Amino acid sequence: MHPQEDVTNPDRPSTVYEAIGGEPTFTKLVDAFYAGVAADPVLRAVYPEDDLGPAAERLRLFLIQYWGGPTTYSDTRGHPRLRMRHAPFVVNVATRDAWLRHMRAALDTLDLPSEYDATMWQYFTRAADSMRNTPG
Ligand code: HEM
């Protein structure tokens, strides 16, 4: 038996990644999120590249890794160091709130069981706030 298996119920998913449906769920979340970013002039101005596709893929791979899925993000990009990676971009209250608004709408499209929704939302709100690097 695999040592990390839950002996009381070996079929019970052991990561959020598995519990919410694995890769397709994260693809759906990030697609919905970036559709919102693309349509938001305030946020669109913060993202440096015309093509949001590569940025979407980096976020998708990061979230998959963070929630217990494959570690492709760090295998290809190294340690996340997210605060450092956001330093070139204006993250203030307005862009943080816009970012979170689109992530809230994207999470809503998943219709997750409430405990998973709450766990992920708490992470997003805290992490987005920790990325602030510009007053106002
Ligand atoms: C939960 C909070 C957040 C997470 C987990 C997150 C995650 C990420 C990741 C993984 C990347 C790519 C890093 C890399 O490998 O280079 C990235 C890039 C970026 N993020 Fe965030 N981010 C968050 C909050 C924000 C906020 C609040 C803003 C505000 C506008 C923002 C704006 C950007 C921009 C402009 C980029 C560059 C796009 C690109 O990758 O080319 N992020 N973010």
What mean pLDDT comes out for the span 110-123? 98
Residue 7 has pLDDT above 80, yes or no: no
Q: Give 6's pLDDT tier (boundaries 50, 70, 90).
A: low
**What is the residue with the minimal CA distance to atom 21 of ligand 1?**
86
Q: Are 72 and 115 in contact (CB under 8 A)?
A: no
Residue 68 has pLDDT above 80, yes or no: yes
Ligand 1 centroid to 115 CA: how many Å? 25
SS3 of 21, please?
Answer: coil
Q: Which of 136, 134, 110, 133 is nearest to 121 (CA)?
A: 110
Q: What is the DSSP string of 59-114?
A: HHHHHHHHTTS--HHHHHH-S--HHHHHTTS---HHHHHHHHHHHHHHHHHH---H
Q: What number does the ligand 1 atom closest to the CA of 103 have?
A: 1
Question: What's the confidence (pLDDT) of residue 10?
Answer: 74
Ligand 1 centroid to 8 CA: how many Å? 39
